Structures are given as C-alpha cells and as structure tokens.
Amino acid sequence: MFNKMMKLALGITIPVLLFTGTASAEIRSHTLKFAAANSKGHPQVTGMEKFAEIVKEKSGGKIEVKLFPGGVLGGDVQTVSALQGGVVEMLVLNAGILASNVKDFGAVDLPFLFNSGEEADKVMDGPFGKSLIDKLPPAGLVGLAYWELGFRNLTNNRHAVAKLEDIKGLKIRTLQSPIPIELFNSLDANAVPLPYTELYTALETGTVDGQENPFANILNAKFYEVQKYLTVTRHQYNPQIVLVSKKFWDGLNDEEKAVLQSAAVEARDFQRKVSREADAKALDEIKATGMQVTELSPEETQKLRDAVKPLIDKFSADIGADSVSLLFKELEAARK
C-alpha cells in the first residue's frame, strides 16, 4: 500500500521500503547540506526542519540533514549551479526559476493560473508535475516533491496601487525568471530581476520601488520596514520544488533514496498546511505594522488579467506546446 501511495503521489518508481522505525543495515552515514533563500520562521524553512526530522527518524540517525536557510549558501540561481556541481546536496526554491535549466518549468510562472492552493496541489502532484520532474536529471538535478510558497502580492514605497494604471513606472523587483520579468514590463512597470538575498537592501536604498511576494515573505523578511503600500493582487502562485543534486543522488543506494523521497512527501503535506495557515495570519499582522493595504476590485483584477493575456500566448510557444497543453488539461480536471 505504501509503495502504491508513493507512486500515486509523485509517479516516481524508485524502490520504496516499509519503514518500521528500525534502520536497515543498508543505510549508510551521510551528511547533506539543504539550502533555501528564506529565513528561519518562514513556512519554507519550517518544512525543511520537518524534512530533516523525518529523515533522521527514518534513517535511524544515519542521514543528517544540515539546514542552510536565509541564502547563506548564495541566491537560488547560484545554489542550483552548486547542486549541479555536487557542492550542495539539496535545495528548495520556486519551481519557475528552473525555467533557465528546463524551459518547461516556465509553465508554473504563468500569471493568474491557479484559483487556490488546493487546485495547485492536484496539478503539481499529478501527471503535469511528474512530467516536469522527469525532465530534470539531464540538467543534473533530481526533484522529490512540490512544496508551496503561495500567492504573490505587490508592495511598493511610492503610492497606493488601486488600479492597473497605478503600476506604471514603478521599479519592481522580480524573480530571476523570464515570465515574471515580462509580466511587470507588460504592465508598464520597470522589472528589475534580483536575487531574493539582495531584495531588502534594494528596497531600503531605493534601487527598486517595490517587490512582489506572498504575505508570509513580506512578514518574515520585514519588508514592511521599507515598504508603505501593499496591494492584494494574487497575480501568481509559486509552487516550490525540493531538489537533490544528481551527483549526490547517484551515489545513494535504493533504500537511502527511499528515505529522502518519502520524507520529502511527508514534509510536503505538513509544509503546505503551515504555509496556508501562515498566509491567512500574515495579512492581519502586516496591517498591524501600519502598511496601507488595498484590495483590488473584481473589475481591476480583470483588467490585470486582460493586460497579461498576450504574455500567456507568447510564452506558451517558448515553454513548449506539450507542457502547456498538459497543464491546462490537468487544471481543467482539477476544477471538475
């Protein structure tokens, strides 16, 4: 039953053994570095802590996961390279950032894609998410599970954004990924791609006027200290992906792989729950800091959707017709 559930969860047919609390002699001692851009207290890092705990238990203490949050090992793009080189063993990051390694990952960055986190779960844990994971090994990476960052919202330090036209001219920091850059440029803002680790300073010094991230990030990174205005746009949903260096993975035996795989899925369910609870609480906490919060009207949200429609058509060709077609097929199935 466990094996079937694992295959259904991720479609990954690696040997999965039953774990009874006693580690088999097959599991050897390993210490691995697990990196992330967010800081301790963020749902991303809470998920990492849970993962490390589960791995320790399942391996009988033989596999130790050392956590490196807060971008201490570098920004996401830099750390992906470190994984490919086998210098760092694990990383969790926004799945769309991998578009520069595997173009099909750009599909998850398409704006206004998902209506809820639960809808995203069905799509990312199903055939579409598996199809992306299957494309990673040639790029030197192995995908274990999809976690959640959440829905992104816009902040800035110049003026309240209550309508589409208010975005014009704002210098907005975006992810280092083609679709978010094009998204804000198409709204007449000036997109400035920067690593997350450099964002607070860029906001503080006025290098950029604003940024866009989920509520939990805005709170965790204390962006409210250097931003006055928040607009609830929910313009993009970020699934995150837990990655392993293929160089490291290839040196593991089947039972060691099964420990990491099953732990990533167990931690996934915990992490998503934590993320959604944090998102619900964070908006109230942001309001309490004194940030001015604007909710867009349905009409203004529709204007945003209409403004970015050409971007969806443009990038669908770049991403690949098969991946985009599978994405929308699975999205339709999730909504039934």
- Give CA–CA dist 96/175, Å, rounded: 9
Mean pLDDT, the chain, whole residue set:
92
- Inform me whether the pLDDT recorded for 12 exceeds 60: no
Above 90 in pLDDT, residue 21? no
Residue 313 pLDDT level (bands cut at 50, 70, 90)? confident
User: In this predicted model, what pLDDT tens digit does every residue of 104-153 receive, in sequence order?
Assistant: 999 999 999 999 999 999 999 999 999 999 999 999 999 999 999 999 99
Q: For 266-279, how does the pLDDT look when each residue is reduced to its tens digit (9 = 90+)? A: 999 999 999 999 99
CA distance 156 to 230: 7
Strands 229-245 and 90-94: what pairing?
antiparallel
Q: What pLDDT is attached to residue 17? A: 40
Which CATH superfamily does the domain covering 2-14+29-331 fall into? Answer: Bacterial extracellular solute-binding protein, family 7 (3.40.190.170)
25: confidence class by pLDDT, cuts 50, 70, 90: low
22 compared with 250, residue with greater pLDDT: 250
- pTM (2 decimals)? 0.88
CA-closest candidate to residue 238, choices 90, 323, 70, 111: 111
Tell me how long the chain is: 336
So where are the chain's domains? 2-14+29-331
Q: What percent of the chain has pLDDT over 90?
A: 88
Q: Is the confidence at residue 19, as pLDDT, over 50?
A: no
